[in-house]
Amino acid sequence: MPQTQTPFRYERLTSASATRLVHIQPSSATGSGLVVRIEEVHPNQVEYDALSYTWGTSEPNKPITVNNDRRLLVTENLAKAMRRFRHPTEVVSMWIDQLCINQSNLRERSHQVAMMGTIYRSARKVIVWLGEDYQVLENGTKLNLKPGLILANRILDSIRRDGDSKFDWVILSGSSRFPSPGNKPWQALAAILRRPWFGRMWVIQEVVLSSCIEVYCGEKMFTWEEVGQIVDCLDSEDYRNYNIRNSELVTELPFARINRIKKQHERGMRPDLFELMLACRHFGATDERDKIYALLELGEHDITPDYNMTSKDVFVDFAARTIQTAQQPRYCCDYGNENPHHFNCCVEGLKDKDKYLRIMTMLCCAGATNQKQTLPRSEQLPSWVPDWSLPLKVRPFCFWGSKTFAAGGSEYGEISVLENGRLSIPGKIFDTIKAAGSVNLNLSDITDAKAERDLIAQWYTDCNHIVAQNLNRYPVTGKEPRVVLKKILEHNDIGETRKTPTTTDDGDGDDDRPANTRRSSGNLIDDLASPQWVLPADHYESTMGVAVGRVLFLTLNGYMGLSPHGTRDGDVVFVMLGCDIPFVLRPVGSGGGSDDDSYVLVGECYVYKAMDGEAMRDDTRPVRDVTII
């Protein structure tokens, strides 16, 4: 294509209900240039398919010809997809976000994102492009994925023949053993199911809103239902255990979560947006704002996309709205009149425990330890606002097992989002931290067993140093501090093992299956307890569990517990009214002045024998409002 071509310029859309379509012009020549026509349309008045793909990591650098003689650059992966779906003799009409939205016009981009639901529901089908049937490895060699596609076909043939989802490798292969870790078909199938597309935030909405989905890897096409059948049959307990032993984790994928949301949507369920955010936290988005905007068509909310807002503004606004929604009906509140993040809510709105739990859960997912620490201060989030662009460093206590806590009692308080991004919450300062550990039990990057054992030993030694500073018996129980440490680390008071045939009523069974072979039950976010979604590796729960990413701390009054790594002496344990989990706060002021009750939220914590309303029953500790910045 001549470099002298005039760059394509988008014309302003003439209607608020309009979008654009890409008409890929036919060609039978494999190496011929891509020629398209882009036109304005109304989604419900034309026939088209919607393309779902990943932009990739490269900048747009592949030229295409638009509207006869204009030049436009697209990403390499999109160029490959367009060549794959170009027809030799017929025009192919598609909606492609990279081309149909003027990405440089933030106002148009915001409006088109708000139209995504209409666009995908109006499409005849969604065409998913996973990429070519090979994969370029880090060393530059190509991994042939065709054996994996053949294996997938054999699985589907077996299901069609036998009428169930139980794929029998033994019968199919004639071998009495599971395939070895280097088995090429198995390895290739795992690579296909780990393609980046499955972990992209936008695909959730694209899949859920479509009634017909075709998934392409190279020339091979599967329906969405067929992909589901393949994953389901590989999700049996035998195969999960095989996968874990051999590091071929084909079932440790976002597919199941996407499919669960899709099935609930088909049943007419429309979950709260905050619930969706929790469930989809680990899906990726190039633009941090899309961590929220990509889910807007699927959940209940009153948010309008606005790409003129920074990601900080978007996250703060979402957190403020979550608090507002959780506390009371909208008509009781002055939310958004003058300051969009300033409102005071009546206590009458706090009677719904389930809604109040949203605030607790949000705060448990926030804290300075779960935020970027290298940003300029002006770009840093308030410590009470979750940073949705990052994975959680530890799994919050509220996601652990079936054990329930009630540290804050049953009375609720008045929570206010103040000016300048501050949060006012009522509760009690329970105690001040005297000493805290310093060893970070982060096993995510450790693959060597000896190095892992050494780090765990260092963490235990660190704990023993903290325990040695407590010269008195433990408050309430009168037990030796070392006994209390053992109780904490045995999980006896933190999480309960889900019962299995080998588990006793005391919860002391030897359920030694890896965490991702267990299944929880409940609503959309019930599988948040699955460590591969919250922690970097699934072996954490089966080794150190709640200790990962946390340190032991000791308070001035002799209480002990677990808190985020980074906790230090002088931090305080705060119990919020009605909140099940205590928090570690860091005082901002240093004596006198208006900053006396201003704190940074460090993170949630666990205090042995202070998780059942003990602080609320202690009249010597007054209830006060503290400000979180």
Within a 10 A sphere around the Cβ of 615, how many other Cβ atoms? 25
pLDDT grade, residue 303 (50/70/90)?
very high
Overall average pLDDT of the 82-103 stretch? 97
Question: DSSP states of 497-508 as a string?
Answer: PPP-TT--TTS-
Better-predicted residue by pLDDT, 285 or 374? 285
Q: Residue 171 above 60 pLDDT?
A: no
Determine the 3-state secondary structure of 510 from DSSP: coil
Check if the beta carbon of residue 551 is closer than 8 Å to that of residue 437. yes
Better-predicted residue by pLDDT, 79 or 594? 79
Within a 10 A sphere around the Cβ of 378, how many other Cβ atoms? 6
Distance CA 401, CA 405 (A): 11
pLDDT grade, residue 56 (50/70/90)?
confident
pLDDT grade, residue 242 (50/70/90)?
low
pLDDT grade, residue 597 (50/70/90)?
confident
Q: What percent of the chain has pLDDT over 90?
A: 59
pLDDT number for residue 504: 35
Distance CA 153, CA 158 (A): 9
pLDDT number for residue 237: 60
Check if the beta carbon of residue 417 is closer than 8 Å to that of residue 620. no
Which residue in 388, 372, 376 sits closest to 318, CA to CA?
388
Q: Can you say whether residue 420 is alpha, beta or left, with left for phi > 0 and alpha for psi between -120 and 50 degrees? A: left
Q: What percent of the chain has pLDDT over 70?
A: 79
Which residue in 532, 475, 618 sits closest to 256, CA to CA?
532
pLDDT number for residue 346: 40
- C-alpha torsion 24→30→33→37, nearest 10: -10
Overall average pLDDT of the 495-517 stretch? 35
pLDDT grade, residue 593 (50/70/90)?
very low
Distance CA 548, CA 554 (A): 18
pLDDT grade, residue 215 (50/70/90)?
very high
Check if the beta carbon of residue 118 is closer than 8 Å to that of residue 43. yes
Overall average pLDDT of the 94-118 stretch? 97
Check if the beta carbon of residue 624 is closer than 8 Å to that of residue 424. no
Better-predicted residue by pLDDT, 112 or 236? 112
Better-predicted residue by pLDDT, 311 or 518? 311
| Percentages (nearest 5) of helix, strand, coil residues in the chain | 35, 15, 45
Overall average pLDDT of the 98-118 stretch? 97
Q: Residue 614 above 90 pLDDT?
A: yes
Q: Residue 333 above 60 pLDDT?
A: no
pLDDT grade, residue 332 (50/70/90)?
very low
Q: Residue 627 above 70 pLDDT?
A: yes
pLDDT digits (tens, 9 = 90+) for 527-548: 443 333 333 344 344 446 788 8
- C-alpha torsion 184→200→278→308, nearest 10: 160
pLDDT number for residue 413: 86
pLDDT number for residue 357: 84
Q: Residue 50 above 60 pLDDT?
A: yes
Check if the beta carbon of residue 75 is closer than 8 Å to that of residue 60. yes
Overall average pLDDT of the 149-162 stretch? 86
pLDDT number for residue 158: 82
pLDDT-wise least confident of 132-141, 204-213, 486-495, 597-606? 486-495
pLDDT grade, residue 512 (50/70/90)?
very low
What does pLDDT average to over the chain?
83
pLDDT number for residue 537: 40
Better-predicted residue by pLDDT, 439 or 179? 439
pLDDT digits (tens, 9 = 90+) for 379-433: 999 999 999 999 998 889 888 755 679 999 988 888 999 988 999 999 999 999 9
404 φ, ψ (degrees, to nearest 5): -115, 150
